[in-house]
Amino acid sequence: MNAPSVGFFCDECSLYGVYPIPATESAGRCEHCGHENPARPSDSVNRGETVDSCPQCSNLRFYHRKDFPQQLGCAAVTGTVVLSSIAYALWDVPASIAVLVLASIADLTLYHRLSEVTVCYRCHAELRGFPLSPEHGPFDMHVAEEYEAGQ
C-alpha cells in the first residue's frame, strides 16, 4: 500500500494539489497560486487509518473508485490494437487473436491490482493509501446529486 496522501482542488484556482499524510505545516497550500486551503485531517486520517471526515471540507460522505489514470487506459488500448495489427501482418489471424486475449488478461490483472481511492462527495478530495471503510460504497449518483443541488 502506498503512503497515504490527500489530493485536493484549490478553492482559489481550482487546480489539483497533493500533500502527504501526516499533514505538515504547509499541507493544503496550493502549489499553483499559493492559496492556503484548509487542511484539517482528523486524527484517524492523520494516522493513515479510516477516513471518517474530509480534511478539506469536513464532509462525512465518501465513495470508492479505482485509482485509474485515464491516459494509461488509452495507451493500453492503442498499444493492444497496434500489437495485434503487427501480429496479424506477421503471423495472420491466430496470432492477432492471441495478442488480443493476452492483452485483455493483462488489462484484467492490472485492473485488479489498481488501488482504490476514497473520494469526498462534496469537494472531490481524493484520499489515497487509506484502508477502505465498509461505510463507504461505490459512487452513488443520488448522493452526488444531493450535493450538487445543495451547493
Residues lying near Zn ion in the complex (CB under 5 A): 10, 12-13, 30, 32-33, 35, 54, 56-57, 59, 120, 122-123, 125
* Cell (9 digits) for 142: 443520488
Nearer to Zn ion, 39 or 87 (CB): 39
Nearer to Zn ion, 63 or 88 (CB): 63
Q: 3: buried, middle or exposed (CB in 10 Å: 19+, 13-18, 0-12)?
A: exposed
CB of 117: closest distance to Zn ion in angstroms?
A: 13
CB of 31: closest distance to Zn ion in angstroms?
A: 8
Yes or no: say if 4 and 48 are a contact pair by the CB < 8 Å rule: yes
Closest CA relative to residue 114, chosen from 100, 128, 99, 133: 128
Nearer to Zn ion, 88 or 147 (CB): 147
Nearer to Zn ion, 32 or 65 (CB): 32
Measured from the Cβ of residue 130, the count of other Cβ atoms closer than 10 Å reads 24
CB of 49: closest distance to Zn ion in angstroms?
A: 18
Work out the angle between the directed axes of helices 93-113 and 70-91 (0-180°, nearest 10).
160
CB of 40: closest distance to Zn ion in angstroms?
A: 11
